[in-house]
Amino acid sequence: MAHKFPPILLVFNRPTALYSHRIGSKTIFVIHSPLLSLSQAMLSRGIVSPFRTPTFPFPTTTCKYSISDQDLESRGFFLRRTISDLNLDHLNSVFVAVGFPRRDPEKIKLALEHTESMLWVEYKKTQKPVAFARATGDGVFNAIIWDVVVDPSFQGIGLGKAVMERLVEELLEKGICNIALYSEPRVLGFYRPLGFVADPDGIRGMVYSRKQRKKK
């Protein structure tokens, strides 16, 4: 969807809390592990003092999906985690359908090659992607989820939730304790039940603004 409203940054707070706050025109959601204080989780991002690796093991996930893999397949949907069968032109069409600007396919390919985790749903009848989400990060402490989209023709049947549940679980299983994403205000209600919250412990995020720099 096009960013017509302030995006909010959200943070994941396992198992049920999610933080969000506004940065310019965006709302940012962040997911945060309860085993670490938020200040510890944000250390490696330069927001607070130096990060200390916890001495206790990161917990394994026990996620029960809202829609099982078997149920998805019975409805004609297949979960994919690589770009090998992903048609970038078809993915671009989904981006445009939800309000994103059309992107250069070569740049999409490059972005996906630098993606930490990715999950998309293929519709068997057309062999086209109908839902998608990906995450980038350092592979250890932090991850940001991007490009969460569902083809308008397939919205409202749980595909977006199915993708997000699995993507978040995959990141948590890697031991990543700080998970964030940007969201428009009108879809905050989608992310909150998934464990995202805004402004964790009053900590706000910032993004670079060319307009702000020109004012100086």
Q: Please list the active-site residues.
A: 191
DSSP labels, 118-169? EEEEEETTTTEEEEEEEEEE-SSSEEEEEEEEE-GGGTTSSHHHHHHHHHHH
Distance CA 14, CA 33 (A): 5
Residue (of 37, 29, 55, 62) closest to 179 by Cα position: 29
Place of tokens 């770009």: 83
Q: Compute CA distances 158 → 2, 121, 147, whole Å.
A: 22, 11, 17
Interacting residues of 10 by C-beta distance below 8 A, sequence separation 6+: 18, 19, 20, 27, 28, 29, 30, 31, 180, 181, 182, 183, 188, 191, 196, 197, 198
Do residues 85 and 43 lie in contact, with contact meaning Cβ atoms separated by under 8 Å? no
